[in-house]
Amino acid sequence: MTHRFDSVQIVREGLKDVHYLADDGIAGVVFLADRLAKPVLVEGPAGTGKTQLAKSVADFLGARLIRLQCYEGLDESKALYEWNYKKQLLRIQADRKSDSWEDVHDDIFGEDFLLTRPLLEAITSEDPVVLLIDEVDRVEVETEALLLEILSEYQVSIPELGTIQAKQIPLVFLTSNNTRELSEALKRRCLFLHVDYPDMEREKEIVLTRVEGITENLADQIARIVRSIRQLDLKKAPSVSETIDWARTLVLLGIEHIEAEQAKETLHILLKYQTDIAKAAKELSIEK
């Protein structure tokens, strides 16, 4: 089996080249996922870069990203496969004079009539694939069973066709915001990675990397203010992506040094609840 990465350092440098700043812990888990052919379960607060990690790995590898967005009510027809009923009906109508129903039956349940969904698409693709199963904690416990065969054996069992084996083993990332506890069976099949908010220096580096035209001084101020705001009792702490949006806003406004009033006027970019904005504005007034 050909491995994608030669070392942890190569993973870290490759992700940096596509503007994802990974520490050795993150890079190490991605490296092991490739070597052990195991999925990665990425947990942590919303907006800390869990989804972006999968996207960045795909960019780094030049691989196709296949995304399954999870939601309540997701079933196998949306996750695995379903039959093309319209095409089957047309085939039956075309052969309605046939004396052999078995021939028609075998025909309409062939691969030509199969509609692949993200999970099946990922393992039947002949090209390199990164499979992202996003917000897996949103599905019901019963729906997790759909994932177990793929995540352990990289195969899908279809009653009419039999077992379809993977043509290549994709890199698989599952993300979770911890809205519910995942099953032990699912966790057991995965490597675990917790992605939290970055420390101040790393967030500053992320802003410098992702925001064009920003000065080191402004990036430093942004990282310090965001850190102080996250320490407040908020309904939703600002995510890294919101920090980046705020930084881009300040650059567009031509702000080089953040004053308290300027910060308060743009807090709606960073925070999404009025109660949080009020708390942050009060904090900024005190710091002034």
pLDDT digits (tens, 9 = 90+) for 48-87: 999 999 999 999 999 999 999 999 989 888 888 888 778 7
- For all residues of the chain together, what is the average pLDDT? 89
pTM listed for this prediction: 0.85
pLDDT digits (tens, 9 = 90+) for 260-287: 888 889 999 999 999 999 999 988 876 5
Q: What percentage of the chain exceeds 90 in pLDDT? A: 62
Number of helical (H) and strand (E) elements in the chain, helices listed first? 15, 9
What pLDDT shows up at residue 234?
Answer: 94
What pLDDT shows up at residue 103?
Answer: 58
- The three-point CA angle 217-247-13 to 5° equals 80
**Who has greater pLDDT, 76 or 137?**
137
pLDDT at 181 over 90: no
Instruction: Report the residue count for the chain.
Output: 288
- Give me the sign of the Cα torsion angle 35, 37, 41, 47: positive
What pLDDT shows up at residue 167?
Answer: 86
CA 98 to chain centroid? 49
Rounded distance between C-alpha atoms, residue 197 and residue 195, angstroms? 7
What pLDDT shows up at residue 83?
Answer: 81
pLDDT at 1 over 90: no
List of E strands, the chain? 40-43, 64-69, 81-83, 114-116, 129-134, 155-158, 162-165, 171-176, 191-194
68 contacts 131 by C-beta, under 8 angstroms? yes
Confidence of residue 100 (pLDDT cuts 50, 70, 90): low
Domain ranges of the chain: 8-79+117-194, 81-116, 200-287
pLDDT digits (tens, 9 = 90+) for 200-252: 999 999 999 999 999 999 999 999 999 999 999 999 999 999 999 999 999 99
Q: What are phi and psi of 131, to 5 degrees?
A: -100, 125
pLDDT at 288 over 70: no
Structure tokens at 272: 């999404």
**CA count, 13 A, side-chain hemisphere, 217:** 4
* Overall fold of domain 8-79+117-194: Rossmann fold (3.40.50)
pLDDT at 99 over 60: no
Rounded distance between C-alpha atoms, residue 126 and residue 131, angstroms? 13
Q: What is the dihedral of CA 176, 182, 184, 185, to 10 degrees?
A: -80
Rounded distance between C-alpha atoms, residue 137 and residue 176, angstroms? 5
Mean pLDDT over residues 183-205, rounded?
Answer: 93
What pLDDT shows up at residue 163?
Answer: 84
- The three-point CA angle 147-18-137 to 5° equals 25
What pLDDT shows up at residue 171?
Answer: 95
Q: Which residues contact 230 (CB under 8 A, 6 or more apart)?
A: 197, 237, 238
